[in-house]
Structure 1
Amino acid sequence: MGSYISLGVGELELDWGKNFGFRDYSKLFLPSDKKNIPYYYADDEVILKPGYSTSLGRVKSRLELLGYSLKNLNNHFQQHNDNYPDYLEQPDISFETMLEIFSRINIKDYKNKKEDGDYDLGEYVIENIFLNETFKDLKNHIDIKDNDIGAYFENLDSLFTLRLLIENPNNLKMNLEWRTQDVIDGGWTNDNEIFVGVEEADKFLIVTEGSSDTFIIRKSLELLRPDILDFFTFVDMEDNYPFTGTGNLYRFCQGLASIRIQNKTLVLFDNDVEGIDKYNKTNKLNLPNQMKIMKLPELEEFNNFLTAGPTGETNENINGKAVAIECFLDLTKSTPIIRWTSYNKDLDAYQGSLENKDDYVRAFKVIKNSNDNYDFTKLTKLLDEIYKNCI
C-alpha cells in the first residue's frame, strides 16, 4: 500500500503524495519548525508524530517571497487555466470570485471524512470539498456535473489555494503542517533528504553601496525578521568589498544587465544626491526581469533634520539629499546632524552625510535581540520596503 505524506491546515489537506512521489514543501518552514504534530487517520484516529508546523501568519511572508503575493495570484490562476487540458471541462469561475469565496472560509470549521481507499481523479474534491458544509459557497457557485470539475480544483497549485485561504484573518493563527514521518518510517526517505529548505533559485542577492549597508541589513533581518532571513544572500563583505561607492555600484548594474543575470537580485542605492542620480540612471538600463532596483525609502523622520553647512545650522528635509543607511539606526541617544560636504555642479545640489556615523554603527553592533533598549522604528520601515520590492 505504501506510505503517505501530506500538507494541510487542521483536517484540510492541501496536497499529498505517496512513497517517492511527493512535492518538496520544506521551503515553507525553518528547521526549528520540526515538532510533534497531529496525523489524521480513518476512524477518527489522531496520532502525534514528528513533522513540520508553523503559523499561516508566518507562512504568508514566505509564500510571497516565493512569488505568491496577492498581486501575482491572478497570474498563477491564468497559467492554470491556460495549461489545463482542453478535453477536461473547466468551471465558469473568475479569479475574483475564487478570492472572494476562499477568503471567507474558516479552516477550523472543516472536518475531513477520513475514509480509507484511493480516489479517482477529481473524486476527492467532490467528496471532501464540494459536499462539505465549510465550502458551501463554492458548491453554490459551481455546477458539479462530473469528476472533471473536481479534477480542475484538485490540480490547482496547492500554494495558490493556501495563499487564498490566508486572506481570511481568522485563519492566520492556524498552523500549516507538513506530515512527513510516515514516508520516513516507510524507508522512502530520511530526515536529511526531506528538508531541502530555500533553494538558491528562490533566494534574493542583496547588493549595496558598501559593507556597512550590507551589515546593517543582514543584522536587521536577523533581529527583526528571522523567519525570512534564509531567503536572502549577501555579497561577501569581509575583505575588499567590490562595489563600494555609488559609481561602482552603477557600473556593476551595467555588467549584470549586459549578461542578463538570472538570479533574483535587489540593488540598493542611498537616498542622497549621488545615490538618486545613479538610481535614475540604473532604472534606464535594460534590466533583466529578475533584477530590481530600489533606493533607501523617504521617511517623515527625515523631513526636519538638523544640518550644518555654509549657512550655519538649519533644519532641512534631507530626503533625496543626505540619507544613508546609518540614518535608519537609533539616533535618539544624541543629537544627530548632517554635514553638507560637497557641491555637485551637474546636479546643482549639496551632498550631505551623517556626522559620527561610525559611532551609531558600533552601538548597533552590540545589540543582541529585538527586545534590547533600541529604537528599531526606521529599520523596520526599511525592511518593509526591501520586502515589498522583492515580492
Structure 2
Amino acid sequence: MGTEITLSLNGVDIDYGKNRYWKSHHWLFPPGSLTDIEYRYANDAVETKPGFQTTLNETGFRLRHLGYSLQETRTKFDAAVRRWNRTADLQLSFEDFRSALTSIDFGTLTPADMKTFIWDFRSYVRSLLATWDTDDAGLEDFIASLDFAITLRALADRAASGPLPLRWHHQDLVESGWVALEDLTDIDRQTYVIDHTRLYGRLQDHAGKTTVKGFDAWLAGNGLPKMTAYSKANSDGTVTPETTTLPTAVRNMIHHPENPNNVLSDEDLRESVESLLRVVKALPTPLPGLA
C-alpha cells in the first residue's frame, strides 16, 4: 500500500501522497511550524511524531500573498477549466467551486464522515459538486488534477475554519526512508523568484517609493536591517560594493542575472520572502486586493 504523507485540516485528511509521489506543502507553513503532532492509524492507534502545524488563517495569509489572491486563484481555476475543456465539457465556475468548498464545516466534519468516500477528500468534494458531474465533464479527474493550492485557498475563505489546525504529517515517509527532511523543505526556486518579485513590487507600490533605493530605506524603516552585501556592476566594468536589506539585494540579483559578482542562495531567497511577509503582516492595513 505504501507509506503515506498527509495534509489534514482539524484532523481530516485533505491531501495525501505516497512513497516518492507527493506534493510539497512546506511553503504553506511559516518558519517555526515544525513541532510534535498526532498521527492516527488503524484501530484508533495514536502516536506523537514531528510534523508541521499552523492555522488555516496563517496559511490563508501566505496563499493570498504568494500568488493566490482571490483574483489570482480565480484566474488559475478558470485557466484550468479552459485547458480541461479542450477534451471535456465541464461547466463548473470558480464561484460555484468556491461556494461548495466554503460550505464545508470542518468544525464538525470528522474522519468517520470520510469513510463513505474511502477517506478521499477529493471524492467528498466531488459529491458536493454533483450538479456538474455529467458524463462529459470528467469531474473526478479534473478535481484530482487541479492545483491543490486552489482548493486550499477556497477552504481558507470560510472564516469559521480560520483558527483550525492545518498539519502536514511527514514523519512516516522520513522514517521509511523514502525522503529526507531536506527533500520536503527544499524550495521551488522558480516559484520563489516569482513570489519574491511580485511581493517586492506590491510592497514598493504600497510604500509609494519610485526608486529601489527609496524603497530599501522604507524597508529599513520597517524593521529590516541593512546588513546584506551586494556588488553592483557598473557599465565601465568596475564594481561598487553596497549594503542593503536582504530583499533589495535579492531583488537586484534576480533583476540582474548578468552580474557575476553575486550568488543568490536558496536560503537567502527563502528568508527574503519570509522577511517581506513579516513586513506585510505588520502593516496597519492590508495590501490592496489581498485582504
Q: TM class by shorter-chain length?
A: 0.5 to 0.7
Tell me how far apart the structure 1 counterparts of residues 17 and 62 of structure 2 sit (CA, whole Å).
22
Q: Report the Cα offset of residue 193 of structure 1.
A: 2.7
Q: CA deviation at 1:52?
A: 0.4
- In the TM superposition, what is the alpha-carbon distance from 1:93 to its structure 2 partner? 2.0
Q: Give yes or no for contact 1:214–1:237 (8 Å, CA) kept in 2.
A: no
* CA–CA distance in structure 1, aligned partners of residues 178 and 241 of structure 2: 47
Match of 2:221 in 1: 216
2:105 is equivalent to residue 106 of structure 1: yes
The whole-number CA distance in structure 2 between the counterparts of 1:156 and 1:209 is: 41
Corresponding position of 1:73: 73
Q: Which runs of structure 2 are paired with 1:1-391 in the superposition (5 Å)? A: 1-84=1-84, 86-87=86-87, 89-113=88-112, 125-126=122-123, 128-130=124-126, 135=128, 138-139=129-130, 141-143=131-133, 148-197=138-187, 199=189, 200-201=192-193, 202-204=195-197, 205=200, 207-209=212-214, 212-219=217-224, 236=229, 241=242, 380-381=283-284, 384=285, 387-388=287-288
Shift of residue 169, structure 1, vs aligned partner: 0.5
- Does the 8 A contact of 2:102 with 2:158 survive in 1? yes
- Using the alignment, how far apart are the partners of 2:121 and 2:215 within structure 1? 54
CA contact (8 A) 1:10 1:174 kept: yes
For residues 77-96 of structure 1, give each alpha carbon's deviation from its aligned partner in whole angstroms, at most 9, with x where no partner exists: 11211222744x55432112
Mean alpha-carbon deviation: is it higher for 179-188 or for 147-156?
Answer: 147-156
Give deviations 1:322-376, integer Å, cap 9, x for gaps: xxxxxxxxxxxxxxxxxxxxxxxxxxxxxxxxxxxxxxxxxxxxxxxxxxxxxxx
SS of the residue 1:57 aligns to: helix
For the aligned residue pairs, the C-alpha RMSD in angstroms reads 4.2
Structure 2 unaligned regions, length at least 5: 205-211, 232-239, 245-250, 259-281
Shift of 1:160: 0.4
Amino acid of the residue matched to residue 185 of structure 1? E
Q: Pick the structure with more helix per residue.
A: 2
Distance 1:19 1:147, change over 3 A: farther
Please give the secondary structure, in 1, of the residue aligned with 2:111: coil
Indicate conservation of the 8 Å contact 1:9/1:107, yes or no.
yes
Amino acid of the residue matched to residue 6 of structure 2?
S
The secondary structure found in structure 1 opposite 2:68 is coil
* Paired positions, count: 238
Larger C-alpha radius of gyration, 1 or 2? 1
CA distance in 2, matches of 1:159, 1:62: 11
Are the aligned partners of 1:184 and 1:191 in contact in 2 as well (CA < 8 Å)?
A: yes
Higher relative contact order (CA 8 A, sep 6+): 2
Mapped partners of 1:64, 1:182: distance in 2: 30
Q: TM-score, normalised by structure 1?
A: 0.50
CA positional deviation for 1:161: 0.6
Asked whether the equivalents of residues 35 and 52 of structure 1 are also in contact (C-alpha less than 8 Å), the reply is yes
Rounded to whole Å, the distance in 2 between the matches of 1:38 and 1:15 is 16
For 1:62 and 1:124, locate their aligned partners in 2 and report how far apart those are by CA, in whole Å.
22
CA distance in 1, matches of 2:21, 2:11: 21
